[in-house]
Amino acid sequence: MQVPIYMDYNATTPVDPRVLESMLPYFCEEFGNPASRTYAFGWRAEEAVERARKQIAQLINAGPKDIVFTSGATESNNLALKGVAEMYRDQGTHIITQVTEHKAVLDVVKWLERHGFEVTYLPVDSDGLVDPDDVRQALRETTILISIMAANNEIGTLQPIEEIGRIAKEQGVFFHCDAAQALGKVPVDVEAWGADLVSLSAHKIYGPKGVGALYLRLPDSRVALDPLIHGGGHEFGLRSGTLNVPGIVGFGKACEVAASEMAEEAERLRALRDRLEGGICSHIEEVTRNGHPERRLPGTSNLSFAYVEGESLMMGLSGIALSSGSACTSAGHETSHVLTALGLSDELIKASLRFGIGRFNTEQEVDYVIERVRETVERLRALSPIFDGSRALSNVPSTQ
């Protein structure tokens, strides 16, 4: 076992060697531009892109022409939300989303609010689930779009997407889903979901960074988008720019691998996650699991450790790559809006850890992390007068 140990697969994943192997020819040997259709270099590049389009589409039960390539899920979210908003502004200006969405959705709808749109932010329960009845009740005559993510990136909670999709379809409202965390980990079926638009990312499923896709039923769908990027008419006129052929090839291969191995891998990751949680909770008291106990991603665990100072906890776990309840963003450190929405106190949020277990983690690594967490929490609590005082109070006989 080598240290440091990577256990933050929700943030990004290493490229699978099989994915890398598929990409390598398209850097130097097959370097053509797929838009150059007058000679073999371009033809072979175009063939590679279309093969990847099929591989991605098969994983989500879509058609190849439904896949629009982007630079990642953030761009896909922007294209979906801004594209629908601008195209259908004359029909309505109301959008529904939830408070625990990724910033790539929340920041977009906040931008739309500044440009004349109204947004309803639905609450979630203590497990992070949005109530479909809340979605139904939030609908207005001016509602044009519902955007609810499939799987939460911090706590792993899986939303009732199919039910929300049915509500959207009944009301004739477009339904967008950010599936960046769900893809390749749990089944994604755009037909069963009733989704009009779905955002996807390669680097969450052992593909390269800087490439993603937006599912959009292009040939016969009623949804149309106002493009964000103009110039050249690439990707059905929705996303101009020379395609990242090596990245797209890698994305396709990553989806092909996921399609064949996802069920078995999910079981292995679920077992490792349960081993991690069981080992930590059996040795450490005052641990809270955040998110739904069952409706969640197989490799995600978010735990809060009472009476521990968050920054000290992260420093004590150097050598293990994890995320904390204070998410590091380009603007600095900010408290997790997801854990806040679940009702956790600031102290618990700051003492929270997200464990993202992935394809290349082992039982030995999980056991090592359990022991390191136990040692660190016990050491910090031994130094904490708050923890000692709390235990003393808990032993005072009740006066009732």
Residues marked active site are found at 328
> Whole-angstrom distance between the N-terminal and C-terminal Cα of the chain?
54
Report the alpha-carbon distance of residue 262 to residue 86 in Å, rounded. Answer: 37
On whether the CB atoms of residues 19 and 253 are closer than 8 A, the answer is: yes
HSE value, Cβ hemisphere, 13 Å, CA-based, for 58: 16
Report the alpha-carbon distance of residue 364 to residue 385 in Å, rounded. Answer: 34
On whether the CB atoms of residues 241 and 227 are closer than 8 A, the answer is: no
HSE value, Cβ hemisphere, 13 Å, CA-based, for 241: 14
Report the alpha-carbon distance of residue 262 to residue 331 in Å, rounded. Answer: 35
List the one residue out of 177, 171, 204 whose CA is nearest residue 193: 177
Report the alpha-carbon distance of residue 73 to residue 142 in Å, rounded. Answer: 27
Pair of tokens at residue 267: 């079981």
